[in-house]
Structure 1
């Protein structure tokens, strides 16, 4: 099992909302793009909620996303994992991203949304205890946009993700 490294955050200095995943999957790592798997609903859902054209090339989608005050990152900066499933992450290999540094550089973050259970669990277990009083922002888990989360329909995911625009 090789060591996988994630991406830097997508965030403007004045970002108000952070969306966290766990760790990029194989398709994303290969493309060097967040949520690059063609069946992952992240960009389709987020673009629909935020009024961004989902057919724009990745760099333009990312720019529009950040211009609206949203930031995107993963809880894990590195780990070992076979395949793309969160369930296959070797728990002993996880390396957490530098959230103290991120929040210091992005002081306007008021809300954190988790794209699924693994992101939330890892954040609450490995990040929140070290942040102390800074964890005063609103933290909420949303249903994973992963194609592996097939028990929830696209319509239900879209409805839940409307929360990021409120």
Structure 2
């Protein structure tokens, strides 16, 4: 199977975003469905639902995005385009990164940037400009392939709540 060049989605942010969660690059199911974290075994919607205290996994996609907007949570990926044969982050080659600094500059209320998985952190941290007052957190991947277990992931993901405290 030869590698195919894939492109990520547009950022899902609003000017009042306080928490920005950055993945690596959408997998095959997400690309096919044109939805962030579309694979049913990916734990993202359960994990971020616990952060915002909403049952996001049970909502349709448009309502999930609306709930994130209301909670001031943004989504994007660190990779603009890359070659990949499978959905595995380990299979990503020839990655071209997004300009994270340009996006961050448009988010005056941003309090925290969280990287969903090691690949996102490794590429994304190199793209960030110096940040004043914005926390940067590396999270265990929401992918079911990252097998530390849901409860262990949830403990780390719940720490993102601090970025949303005081939301009015």
The answer as to whether partners of 1:142 and 1:160 remain within 8 angstroms in 2 is yes
Q: TM-score, normalised by structure 1?
A: 0.91
1:138 corresponds in structure 2 to: 135
2:85 corresponds in structure 1 to: 82
The answer as to whether partners of 2:23 and 2:116 remain within 8 angstroms in 1 is yes
Give the drift of 1:100. Answer: 2.6
Deviations 1:37-75 (A, max 9, x none): 100000011112212222110111111111111111100
SS of residue in 1 equivalent to 2:109 = coil
1:57 corresponds in structure 2 to: 60
Q: From 152, 156, 159, give the equivalent of 1:156.
A: 152
Deviations 1:18-45 (A, max 9, x none): 1111111111111100000100000011
The answer as to whether partners of 1:112 and 1:137 remain within 8 angstroms in 2 is yes
Count residues in correspondence: 159
Give the drift of 1:135. Answer: 6.0
1:9 corresponds in structure 2 to: 11
The answer as to whether partners of 1:12 and 1:67 remain within 8 angstroms in 2 is no
Give the drift of 1:106. Answer: 1.2
Q: From 20, 38, 41, give the equivalent of 1:39.
A: 41
Ranges in structure 2 where 5+ consecutive residues have no aligned partner: 163-168
The answer as to whether partners of 2:100 and 2:124 remain within 8 angstroms in 1 is no
Runs of 4 or more consecutive aligned structure 1 residues displaced over 3 Å after TM superposition: 133-136
SS of residue in 2 equivalent to 1:114 = strand
Q: TM-score, normalised by structure 2?
A: 0.90
What RMSD, in angstroms, separates the aligned Cα atoms of the two structures? 1.3
- Farther off after superposition, 133-142 or 104-113: 133-142
1:99 corresponds in structure 2 to: 100
Whole-angstrom distance in 1 between the partners of 2:31 and 2:86: 11
Whole-angstrom distance in 1 between the partners of 2:155 and 2:109: 26
